[in-house]
Amino acid sequence: MTVLRGKDTLLHYSLLEGQARAVLIDSTRLCAAARRTHHLSDTATISLGRLLTGAAIMGDMLKGEGSSVTLTVKGGGPMGALVAVGRPGGVVKGYVDKPFVDAEDGRPGSAVGSEGSLTVVKDLGMGEPYVGQVPLVSGEIAEDLCAYFAYSEQVPSLLALGVRVGEKGIEAAGGILVQMLPGASEAAIQSVEMSAGLLSGVAGEIAKWGPDGAAAQIIGHLQPVELERTTPEYRCDCSRERVERALISLGAAELESMIEEQGGCEAGCHFCNRKHRFSADDLRALAAECRRPRGESKE
Ligand SMILES: [Zn+2]
**Distance (Å) from CA 131 to ligand 1 centroid:** 23
For residue 163, count CB atoms less than 10 angstroms from its CB and return exposed for 0-12, middle for 13-18, buried for 19 or more. buried
Q: For domain 9-234, give its CATH number from 3.55.30.10, 3.40.50.720, 3.40.50.1580, 3.30.360.10.
A: 3.55.30.10
**Distance (Å) from CA 181 to ligand 1 centroid:** 36
Span 135-193, pLDDT tens digits = 999 999 999 999 999 998 899 899 999 999 999 899 999 999 999 999 999 999 999 99
**Distance (Å) from CA 270 to ligand 1 centroid:** 6
Contact 101, 108 (CB under 8 A): no
Span 27-61, pLDDT tens digits = 999 999 999 999 999 999 999 999 999 999 999 99
Q: How confident is the model at residue 297 (pLDDT cuts 50, 70, 90)?
A: very low
**Distance (Å) from CA 146 to ligand 1 centroid:** 28
**Distance (Å) from CA 49 to ligand 1 centroid:** 17
**Distance (Å) from CA 22 to ligand 1 centroid:** 31
Q: For domain 240-291, give its CATH number from 3.40.50.1820, 3.40.718.10, 3.30.160.270, 3.90.1280.10.
A: 3.90.1280.10
**Distance (Å) from CA 37 to ligand 1 centroid:** 10
The structural domains of the chain, with segments of one domain joined by +, span: 9-234, 240-291
Instruction: State the CB neighbour count (10 A cutoff) for residue 275.
Output: 10
Span 17-27, pLDDT tens digits = 999 999 999 99
Averaged pLDDT, 7-11: 97
Rounded CA-CA distance 275/48 in Å is 22
Predicted TM-score (pTM) of this structure: 0.90
Span 80-94, pLDDT tens digits = 999 999 999 999 999
Q: How confident is the model at residue 3 (pLDDT cuts 50, 70, 90)?
A: low
**Distance (Å) from CA 293 to ligand 1 centroid:** 27
SS3 168: coil
Residues 6+ apart with CB under 8 A from 84: 48, 51, 52, 54, 55, 70, 71, 92, 93, 94
Instruction: State the CB neighbour count (10 A cutoff) for residue 9.
Output: 23
**Distance (Å) from CA 170 to ligand 1 centroid:** 23
Pairing relation of β-strands 225-230 and 169-180?
unpaired
**Distance (Å) from CA 99 to ligand 1 centroid:** 17
Q: How confident is the model at residue 293 (pLDDT cuts 50, 70, 90)?
A: low
Strand order of the β-sheet with 82-87 is: 130-135, 117-123, 68-74, 82-87, 91-96, 233-234
SS3 143: helix
pLDDT of residue 126: 84
